[in-house]
Structure 1
Amino acid sequence: MIVVHNIKENMYDRLASGHLTVGIIFLSQTTVGIVGNFVLLYHYMSLYHTERRLRFTRLILMHLTIANSLVILSEGVPQTLAALGLKSFFTTFACKLFLYIQRVGRGLSISSTCLLSVFQTITISPMNSCWKDLKVKAPKYVGFSIFLCWNHYTFINLVFPLYVLYMPSQWSTKNITQEGDLGYCFTIHQEAVTILLYAVLIVVPEVLFSVLMIWASGSMVFLLHRHKQRVQHIHSTNVSPRSSAESRATQSILVLVSTFVSFHSLSSIFHVSVAYTDNPSLWLVNTTVVISVCFPTVCPFFIMSRDYTLPRRCFSWIQNTKSCSVTGDI
C-alpha cells in the first residue's frame, strides 16, 4: 500500500510540474506577444500623431497588430489560467466571450494579411499594366476594406453562440458528447446546421483569403524578378531610391505573408485534429494553442526589425540625440 501511495504521489507531482511548465510557457508567450504588439501599436499611433497621416501599408499593419493582440488575449490568457489550475474563473459567459474574441481576431488577422499582400501587389505593378486604374483607386478603398473586414467578423461570429454551447471544462460531462476540447472549456454542437454555417461563413472566406494571398505573393515575386531583370544592367548608384524602398518593402511583406501562411496552415491542421479527435490529449491541445499564438507573437518583432524608424525612436533617449527622419521599409 505504501508503494502504491508513493507511486500516486509521484504521478501527481509530475502532473503538477507539467501543468506548471505549460503555464509558464503560455505566460511567457502571452507576455512577449502583448508587449511586442503594444509597442508596435504605440509606434504607429505616435507616427499618426506627429505626421497627421499614416502610409496605407502601416494602416493595415496597425489593424493586423490589433487582430494579433485579440488572438493572444483570447487564447494565451485563458490557457495560462487553465494550466495554472485557475479554471474556477471560467463560466459559460467567459467561454463564449473568449471564443468570440478568438474567432474575430483570427478572421481579422487573415483578412488584414490578405489585404496587405494584395495592396502591395497593386502598388508595385507598373502603370502600363492591367492594374493601372486600380493602382490609382486602391488607396481610397483601404479604409473601407478594413471597415468591411471588421463588420464581417464582428457580426458573423455572433451567430455561433446561438448554435454552439460553450461550457467550462470543470463541469460534469458524463451525459454529454464532447465535440471540441479547448483546455479551459469545451464546445457542444446542438444542431447539425452549425457545421454548414461554419463552413459557409468562416471556412470559405478563409480559403478565399488564402488563395488571394498566394496569388498576390506569386505576383509580387514575378514583378520583383522582372524589375530585377530590367535594372541588372544599370549601376546600383543609378537605381531610384523609391524603387529600392518599394523592393525592400515588398520583400518584407512577402516574408511576413509566407510566415503567416505557414503558421496558419499548421494551426488549422492542429485545430481540425482537436475538433475531430475524441478526448484529445492535453499535449495536442497545448501544442495547438502554442502554434496558434506563434504568429501573433512573432509578427510585431519582425515588423519592428524592418521598420527603421522605431529603433531610433525607442533608443534615442539612450543616445541622447534627436532621432532623424528615416523612411522605414514597411
Structure 2
Amino acid sequence: MGVVFLLQTVCGVLGNLFLLQHYLLLYFTGHRLKPTDLILQHLMVANSLSLLSRGIPHTMAAFGLQDFLNELGCKVVFYLHRVGRGVSISVTCLLSVFQAITISPRNFRWTKLKATAPKYTCFCVFLCWILQMPVNILFSLNVTAKWNKENITRQKDLGFCSANHSDMITLSLFAVLLLFPDVASLSLMLYSSTSMLSILYRHRQQVQYIHRMNGSSRSFTEFRATQRILLLVNTFVSSYTLSSIFQVCISNSPKPSWFFINFGAFITLCFPAFCPFVLMIPDFQCADSLSK
C-alpha cells in the first residue's frame, strides 16, 4: 500500500504540475487563454492540494511511520484535503457546465449564456474556493492525533489520525452534510455532460451526409471529442461516487476496518491523479471548435 500511495501521489502531482505550468507558460508568453483554461488551472491546483495532503500522510503511515502528526497537524492536513477535494469536484462541475454552454447551438434556449458565461468564469471559480473554506472547518474540528490517549475509547482510527466518536444522530447528520455537496455537483455535472453529448450527437447526425461526400475528417474529430468528454465524466463519477460511499461508511462505523480506510483513500485520490492525463489526451478540448 505504501508503494501504491507513493506512485499515485508522485505521478498525480507531476501530471497536475506539468499541465499547470503549460497554461502558465502560455499566459506569460502572451497567448490568449480561453475561459476553460482558467478553470483547468484551478482544477490542477485543487488536485495537487488534495494529493499532497492525503497521499503523503497515507504513504508514510503505510510504510510504518507512527505518530508523525500532532493534533494541529491532523486538523490542518484533513482540512486541506477536504478543501482540495471540494474545490476539485466543484470546478469539474463548472467545467462541464461551461463546456455544455460553449458547444450549444445558436438556437439553444440558453443562447444568451454563451455571451455572458465567460465574463463570470473567474467569479465562479473563486466562489468555489470561498464556499469550501468555511464549510470544511467543521470536518477538521472532529479530527485528532492518534497518539492522543485522552478518551481513547471514544476515538476511531482514520489511518494516520483519529476522530472522536459521536452519537448515531450526529454521525448521520455529519454523513449527510458530507454527501449532499457531492450529490448536488454530480447531478449537475451529469445533466450538463448528458446535454453536451446529446448536442454533439445531433450535430454529427446533421452533417453526416456532408462527411460522406467530401471525406472530411471532422466526423472523426467529433467522435474523439465525445469520447474524451465521456471518459472524463466516467472517471469523475466512478471515483467520487465510490469515494462518497466509503466516506459515509467510515463516518458511520465506530471502528472502520483497514480495508475501508486504505482503499477509500486510494479511490479518493484516483480522480486527482488521473485527471491531468485524461486532459492531456489529444483533441479533448476540440469540442470548443464545434460551436464556431
Task: Give the 3-state SS of the residue equivalent to 2:132 in structure 1.
Answer: helix
Cα distance in 2 for partners of 1:247, 1:118 equals 20
Partner of 1:107: 86
From 294, 297, 301, give the equivalent of 2:277. 301
Q: What whole-Å deviation, never above 9, does each CA across 1:30-53 have from its counterpart, x for those lacking one?
A: 111111111111111111112343
TM-score (norm. length: structure 1) = 0.78
Say which of 51, 56, 62 aligns to 1:77.
Answer: 56
How far residue 78 of structure 1 moved from its aligned partner, in angstroms, is: 0.7
Partner residue in 2 for 1:229: 205
Q: Distance in 2 between matches of 1:157 and 1:25?
A: 27
| Shift in alpha-carbon separation, 1:293–1:197, aligned structure 2, 3 A | closer
**TM-score if structure 2 supplies the norm length?**
0.87
Identity score, percent = 46
8 A Cα contact 1:120 1:250, kept in partner: no
Which residue identity lines up with residue 99 of structure 1 in the other structure? F
**Mapping for residues 54-203 of structure 1, pairs under 5 Å:** 54-161=33-140, 164-172=141-149, 175-179=152-156, 181-188=157-164, 196=173, 199-200=176-177, 202-203=178-179
Q: Which runs of 5+ in 2 are unaligned?
A: none
What is the alpha-carbon distance in structure 1 between the residues aligned to residue 283 and residue 20 of structure 2?
13
Q: Quickly say closer, same or farther: Cα 1:250–1:108, change in 2 above 3 A.
A: farther
Q: Deviations over 1:230-284 (max 9, x none)?
A: 001113648696x986775454233212211111101111222222223222222
1:204 paired residue among 171, 180, 183: 180
Name stretches of at least 5 consecutive residues in structure 1 with no aligned partner. 1-21, 309-326
Cα-to-partner distance string for 1:77-134 (whole Å, 9 max, x where unaligned): 1111112222232000000001101110111111111001111111111111101111
Tell me which residue corresponds to 1:266: 242
2:88 alignment partner AA: S
Structure 1 174/190 Cα, relative in aligned 2: closer, same or farther at 3 Å? closer
More RCO (CA 8 Å, sep 6+): 2
Per the alignment, residue 324 of structure 1 pairs with none
CA contact (8 A) 2:175 2:252 kept: no
- Asked if 2 retains the 8 angstrom alpha-carbon contact of 1:30 and 1:77, the reply is yes
Structure 1 stretches (4+) deviating beyond 6 angstroms? Answer: 243-247, 327-330
For residue 30 of structure 1, what is the amino acid of its counterpart? T
Q: Please give the per-residue CA displacement for 1:142-185, whole angstroms capped at 9, x wherever unaligned.
A: 11100110100122222444xx3322223336653235x32001
Q: In 2, are the aligned partners of 1:252 and 1:329 still within 8 Å (CA)?
A: no
Q: What amino acid maps onto 1:109 in structure 2?
A: S
Pairs within 5 Å for 1:24-63: 24-63=3-42
Q: Please state whether the residue corresponding to 1:167 is helix, strand or coil.
A: strand
Sort the Cα spacing of 1:245 and 1:116 in 2 relative to 1 into closer, same or farther, 3 A.
farther
Change (3 A) 1:246 1:101: farther
Give the counterpart letter for 2:191 in structure 1.
W
The CA distance in 2 between the partners of 1:197 and 1:276, in whole Å, is 9
2:194 and 2:139 map into 1 onto residues whose CA distance is 35
Alpha-carbon RMSD across the aligned residues, in angstroms, is 2.7
SS in 2 for 1:54: coil
Distance (whole Å) between structure 1 residues aligned to residue 65 and residue 278 of structure 2: 33
Q: How many residues align?
A: 286
How far apart, in 2, do the equivalents of 1:295 and 1:100 lie? 19
Matched letter for residue 128 of structure 1: N
Q: 1:18 matched to which residue of 2?
A: none
> What is the distance in 2 between the residues matched to 1:288 and 1:249?
31
Counterpart residue identity of residue 48, structure 1: Y
Q: Does structure 1 conserve the Cα–Cα contact (< 8 Å) formed by 2:101 and 2:110?
A: yes
Structure 2 distance, partners of 1:50, 1:287, is 42
CA deviations over 1:201-245 (Å, ceiling 9, x no partner): x5333221111111011101211111011001113648696x986
User: 1:153 and 1:95 mapped to 2: Cα distance?
Assistant: 18
SS at 2:162 equivalent: strand
Which protein has the larger Cα radius of gyration, Structure 1 or Structure 2?
Answer: 1
